[in-house]
Amino acid sequence: MNYHYPPSMTNLINYLMKLPGVGPKSAQRLAFFLLAAPEQDACGLGGAIVEARQKIRHCKICGNLSDEDTCMVCKDQTRDETILCVVEQPKDVVMLENTREFHGRYHVLHGAISPMEGIGPEQLTIDMLMKRLKEGGIQEVVMATNPSVEGDATVLYLSRLIKPLGIKVTRIAHGIPVGGDLEYADEATLSRAFWGRREL
């Protein structure tokens, strides 16, 4: 009979192979890395995965990731409560926070309307969003979904629901990226940049 790795190594390799983009060879390489790494790094990673799964949930107000029932943004009383930014994913919140431009609250949809993937409005946190808006106090909703077919469809759907409430609906600008070059911009971006031109 021929031998393979010990059972706990085979088990580890099988679990690593479930990660995206990790095949048998990469899984083996990662397993050997974890065996050779300092114990606190390897066991720390193992513990961090379990801890994250146990602790992280969606904020019951905005749907953002949180270790507690309400997230840090919703808890912060110094944030502007009159403006709400709607994003697709929790990572978009972090990207926007990094710009230090926005000081309002967020709402995370956890996706965008996509009939192709079978994602309708009911799979998103739109009910939660409408409930927040109907409670009053919010004067502007900034749509920061991705500039994709799905993101655009979601903006259209939401603006039809929100405008009758008398709330201003805006969308973040799409155009040539800072440091970009007209020569390398695609037509869709260029036409959006042209359409969104502003008077100086």
Positions touching a second copy (CB under 8 A) are 1-9, 11-12, 14-16, 18-20, 28-35, 37, 39, 41-53, 55-56, 65-68, 71-73, 76, 89-91, 93-94, 97-98, 100
Nearer to a second copy, 29 or 192 (CB): 29
Residue whose C-alpha is closest to residue 49's, from 5, 94, 26, 16? 16
Minimum separation from the CB atom of position 55 to a second copy (A): 4
The tokens for 122 are 């009911």
How far is residue 30's CA from residue 13's CA, in Å, rounded to a whole number? 8
Minimum separation from the CB atom of position 51 to a second copy (A): 5
> Residue type for 175, please?
G
Nearer to a second copy, 76 or 127 (CB): 76
The tokens for 26 are 């990469």
Whole-number Cα distances in Å, 25 to 5, 15, 114: 14, 13, 35
Minimum separation from the CB atom of position 76 to a second copy (A): 7
Minimum separation from the CB atom of position 200 to a second copy (A): 30
Nearer to a second copy, 95 or 149 (CB): 95
The tokens for 161 are 């629901």
Nearer to a second copy, 16 or 158 (CB): 16
E strands, the chain, are 57-58, 65-66, 83-87, 105-108, 140-143, 168-171
